[in-house]
Amino acid sequence: MRPAREAEYTDYIQGRLPSLRRVAYLLCQDWQRADDLVQTAITRLYTHWGRARNAASIDAYARTILIRTFLAERRSAWSRRVTLFSAYPDLPAAADADPDTRLDVRAALASLP
């Protein structure tokens, strides 16, 4: 890509990155996954920048790429096999151990190198 086009692309991304992140978060409800979606989308936008900069609305073009990236990821086999949770499942509380046993365990741990 020519330096002038690359500068245009960089300026566009720097200005629109927060709004693209918000849209991605609204789609997937996870900030880390949203960052991954945005990274993939802006990489695709970079490869199609010549076409995107001539579009009627670059913002609409970028959001379309972002949404299509999200949908493609949702259709993949990996997405159907793996389910990520943002919080740990509730585990039952451990029964109160004997205070003498607790002291013995602490002493044993303290003696480890």
With a pLDDT cut of 70, the percent of the chain lying above it is 81
Q: Considering the domain boundaries, does residue 98 fall inside one?
A: no
Q: Considering the domain boundaries, does residue 88 fall inside one?
A: no
Q: Considering the domain boundaries, does residue 20 fall inside one?
A: yes
Q: Residue 37 has which token pair?
A: 């979606």
pTM score, two decimals?
Answer: 0.65
Alpha-carbon gap, residue 104 to 55, rounded angstroms: 72
In tens, the pLDDT along 25-72 reads 999 988 999 999 999 999 999 999 988 888 889 999 999 999 999 999
CATH number of residue 39's parent domain: 1.10.1740
Q: Considering the domain boundaries, does residue 37 fall inside one?
A: yes
Domain total in the chain? 1
Q: Considering the domain boundaries, does residue 17 fall inside one?
A: yes
pLDDT of res. 104: 87
Q: Considering the domain boundaries, does residue 52 fall inside one?
A: yes
Alpha-carbon gap, residue 2 to 17, rounded angstroms: 22
Q: Considering the domain boundaries, does residue 49 fall inside one?
A: yes
CA distances from 84 to 21, 35, 78 (A): 19, 15, 11
Q: Please calculate the CA angle 16-75-42 and round it to the nearest 5 degrees.
A: 20
Q: Considering the domain boundaries, does residue 23 fall inside one?
A: yes
